Structure 1
Amino acid sequence: MKITGIITAMVTPLSENGIDEAATRKLVNKLINDGVHGLFILGTNGEFYALSEEEKLTLVKIVVDEAAGRVPIFAGSGGISTEAVIQLTNQFAELGVDAVSIITPYLIKISDGELIQHYQTIASNTNLPIILYNIPANTKISISEQVFKELIKIPRIVGIKDSSGQLENIQMYLDLNDRADFSVLVGSDSLILPALQKGADGAVAATSNVLTKTDLGIYQAYLANDLEKAARLQESINDFRRVLKLATVPSVLKYSLGLTGIPVGPPKSPVRGVTPELDTEIRNTLALYKEIEGMEKLSCKN
């Protein structure tokens, strides 16, 4: 499979009883109807680290069912234990996801050889296409040039999402990619256009939960060679990115979705929800995008 375009790193709608099915279905339809090229669930913004296995499986079932084949579904099955990743990946396969995203192990510091073996073992014991997920600021492990050279030899590994925030890192993966079926995806929303210009195939963008048409516009303008428009849209997301940093991920992102009419609930503890003091600033920032995103009046209650 060749993965391209704008793929939403979807938040996980939650209620007091776990996964909020109604909100999940509403968000899936909103994103697909707006034109995203895929849904990336159970990533960092999807709070994979805080969800139980039961919650993960429930979310996957709902998203796969609601998407109904309209766009590919990529689900995060990564973890620390190789055996546990294999088990969850195979469960996701039974539920119908199109590929899995597997983050590098975290908490422990492993060698390059152990990292390569981790992915080789998973690929040998599962049937789904695999997207590598590189986010060294969070995991303290980076998929280096030496590791990447070995992993790209594995046919089941079909792409990499790079959230290092370093264009040089993306360029390294692009330079080493000798496969037509392998996709290099940028995971840093501030670098969508620069990465595309270097040859990246697309972006896994958390901001597209809310700024769906803006992020899609960057990609579409780039394809149309309207680089002035693409650059303008890329610059425009900085205001939203600024407010996202005012609280722990994904607190502001989930709050913003609630204001736009899709109440996805608070983040999982220990992450706290947005404090009332931030409400006005978030609303004022979202108002900047009302025209392009076609937002109706922001909700009075979140």
Structure 2
Amino acid sequence: MLLKPMAAHEIAGNWGTVMLPIREDDSIDFVRLEKIVDRMAALGLNGIYTNGTAGEFYTQSEEEFIRVSELTADRCHRHGVAFQIGASHMSPQLSLERIKRAASYRPSAIQVILSDWFPLQDSEAIDCLKRMAEAADGIGLVLYNPPHAKRVLTPEAYGRLKKEVPGLVGIKCAGGDAAWYEAMKEHAQGISVFVPGHHLASGYARGAHGAYSNVACLNPLGAQQWYDLMLTDLPKALELETRIQRFMADYIAPFITRHGYCNATCDKLMSVIGGAADVGCRMRWPYRSIPASEADRLRPIAYELMPEIMKA
């Protein structure tokens, strides 16, 4: 089944990330990866995506990028599942080449970052995204703008980018307070707004459209059922969010704030806690990996706090 690119209003819900199983020699285990993608594509998620932060795009060779993208595109077209290809790279020139390659797989959208060495001024950011949109050949762009980006964009800046680059259909960002959401409604119309997974219910209540979800790292099916609950019983979904956030704040965030691990390491740890996919805790060099014993320690706590997520 050949899928079509998505318009902004069609990009919504719970999207699961494709994480890389890494062998002891630091290579990608593509046999395990194929099984992971096959299972994810059959779960009934709103969509799946490759090469986000947890997908370790910043460590991949171009040959590896092609293999990961082709494998995911093939399985998603077979299953009729919406998918996005992450074509980000720290080099804008290499990112353009990845975007051109990604477009050939006809994904629902293509994820990108702004050039990442010096922060771009408005005119440079517009020029950057215009070139990327041209390379995308009619497929919409989703801009990753996380808190660790060199420049975190304002609602007004998103509006300027959308005005100049109609092909910008979505963003991934940290979200904000009530005033931020009101400003996004004013300035960023026509952009699908995705927020962190553990803030999805409260974000949805204020106007967010979905999440490229860290909660889906724990259990993609549980995260999907939680999103579906938001559509029918938002108060109940918000109550569950308070417990999800407690788990993240008390048991996951300290690995970053106290011990200095990178965010993607925590996503892999959560995948081992949940056990939904054979990803493993191992990160690619030069990033440190959280020991798998920590997953064994935290698993009972996760089941006690969030049985709706863990037992789905």
TM-score (norm 1): 0.85
Contact between 2:26 and 2:285, CA under 8 Å: does it hold in 1? Answer: no
Structure 2 residue matching 1:250: 3-state secondary structure: helix
Residue identity matched to 1:294: K
The match for 2:152 is 142
Deviations 1:138-164 (A, max 9, x none): 122122344322221223211112235
The match for 2:222 is 214
Q: Give the C-alpha shift of residue 3 in structure 1.
A: 0.5
Q: Distance in 1 between matches of 2:221 and 2:278?
A: 19
Structure 2 residue matching 1:43: 3-state secondary structure: coil
Q: Give the C-alpha shift of residue 130 in structure 1.
A: 0.6
Deviations 1:19-39 (A, max 9, x none): 322322332233343331111
**Cα distance change on mapping 1:294 and 1:218 into 2, 3 Å:** closer
Q: Give the C-alpha shift of residue 290 in structure 1.
A: 5.5
**Counterparts of 1:79-228 in structure 2 under 5 Å?**
79-127=89-137, 128-135=139-146, 137-153=147-163, 154-163=165-174, 168-179=179-190, 182-186=191-195, 188-224=196-232, 226-228=233-235
Unaligned runs of 5+ in 2: 1-6, 256-260
Contact between 2:99 and 2:135, CA under 8 Å: does it hold in 1? Answer: no
Give the stretch that moved more between structures: 91-100 or 8-17: 8-17
Q: Distance in 1 between matches of 2:295 and 2:193?
A: 36
**Counterparts of 1:1-302 in structure 2 under 5 Å?**
1=7, 2-15=10-23, 16=25, 18-67=27-76, 68-127=78-137, 128-135=139-146, 137-153=147-163, 154-163=165-174, 168-179=179-190, 182-186=191-195, 188-224=196-232, 226-242=233-249, 243-245=251-253, 246=255, 247-258=261-272, 260=275, 262-265=277-280, 266-275=282-291, 278-288=294-304, 289=306, 292-294=309-311
Q: Distance in 2 between matches of 1:291 and 1:240?
A: 13
Q: Give the C-alpha shift of residue 7 in structure 1.
A: 0.8
Give the ranges of 4+ consecutive aligned residues of structure 1 lying more than 6 Å apart after TM superposition: none
Q: CA RMSD in A?
A: 2.5
Q: Distance in 1 between matches of 2:212 and 2:64?
A: 22
Deviations 1:126-146 (A, max 9, x none): 3121111111x3122122344
Q: Distance in 2 between matches of 1:129 and 1:3?
A: 10
TM-score (norm 2): 0.82
Contact between 1:76 and 1:103, CA under 8 Å: does it hold in 2? Answer: no
Residue identity matched to 1:124: E
Q: Distance in 2 between matches of 1:185 and 1:121?
A: 23
Deviations 1:55-105 (A, max 9, x none): 111111111122225211112212343332221100112234331111222
The match for 1:300 is none
Unaligned runs of 5+ in 1: 296-302
**Count of residues paired in the alignment:** 290
Contact between 1:38 and 1:73, CA under 8 Å: does it hold in 2? Answer: yes
